[in-house]
Amino acid sequence: MPDLSSFPITQRWPASHPDRLQLYAAPTPNGVKISIMLEEIGLAYEPHLIDIWKNESKDPAFVSLNPNGRIPAIIDPNGPDGGPIAVWESGAILLYLAEKTGRLIPSASTPRYETLAWAFFQMSGIGPIFGQLGVFLRGAGKDFEDKRPLQRFADEARRLLGVLDRRLEGRDWIVDEYSIADIATLGWVNALVASYDAGDIVGLSTFSNIQAWLERGLARPAVQRGLQIPARLA
């Protein structure tokens, strides 16, 4: 049985199944990237809810795993060198899991780097901008009298959606096949409607290619399961 006792986080959130990959996350657009990925590849894992609404990602035990104090993070008891390994940052985790299993990332160099470029497009553009839009629509920023920040993020979100919509013209998925690029992006686009009620402000209904892609993604059973993991506390 793997020994995870060297990781302080396992004292705060004990592992019932230390032989399984340990996921520390919340059901947010960044968190569900990893639960969706794990559901897609079928790797055994144990999810732990990090209640970010109670600031648990700033708990010293969590920060010991991810010094940036942000979900998600994982411990894989069966790392590449035979022992456990910790990985944090959602993009790094997606790439790690794809390489570990040989799944959801092309093996040929050209489509592989194309997939990585679109995955990083989500991390550098879509995630930060959509997240800030959510702050100004549903979070603390909604009470600001000055609406210029909201407009700034709405305009940029609309521009990014345009980039993605053009990419999806004539395509089922962002690259040739369903991949980590789609997994990275699905939760964030879904959040525009499901979490932020931002569909109208960004004109989501006008992006027909994105609408069709989102429907295809949400129809996947692994995506539906992953969107609910870890479950929020009642």
Q: Kindly state whether residues 204 and 118 are assigned to the same domain.
A: yes
Q: Kindly state whether residues 117 and 215 are assigned to the same domain.
A: yes
Residue 225 lies in a domain: no
d(CA 231, CA 211): 26
What values do phi and psi take at 161, rounded to 5? -60, -35
Provide the domain limits for residue 159: 109-220
d(CA 97, CA 215): 25
| pLDDT by residue, tens only, the chain of 234 residues | 789 999 999 999 999 999 999 999 999 999 999 999 999 999 999 999 999 999 999 999 999 999 999 999 999 999 999 999 999 999 999 999 999 999 999 999 999 999 999 999 999 999 999 999 999 998 777 777 788 989 999 999 999 999 999 999 999 999 999 999 999 999 999 999 999 999 999 999 999 999 999 999 999 999 999 999 999 876
Q: Which of 104, 124, 144 is the last residue of a domain?
A: 104
Q: Kindly state whether residues 124 and 213 are assigned to the same domain.
A: yes
- Cβ(149)–Cβ(141) under 8 Å? yes
Q: Kindly state whether residues 91 and 115 are assigned to the same domain.
A: no
Q: Kindly state whether residues 158 and 120 are assigned to the same domain.
A: yes
> Given this model, what pLDDT does residue 2 score?
85
Nearest to 91 by CA among 29, 173, 159: 29
Q: Which of 69, 104, 139 is the last residue of a domain?
A: 104
> Given this model, what pLDDT does residue 208 score?
98
Q: What is the 3-state secondary structure (H, E, C) of 131-165?
A: HHHHHHHCCHHHHCCCCHHHHHHHHHHHHHHHHHH
Note the pTM of the prediction, 2 decimals. 0.96
Q: Which of 104, 133, 160 is the last residue of a domain?
A: 104
| In the block, residue with structure tokens 């997994």 | 183
> Given this model, what pLDDT does residue 1 score?
77
Q: What is the CATH number of the domain that holds 80?
A: 3.40.30.10
> Given this model, what pLDDT does residue 234 score?
60
> Given this model, what pLDDT does residue 146 score?
80
Residue 227 lies in a domain: no
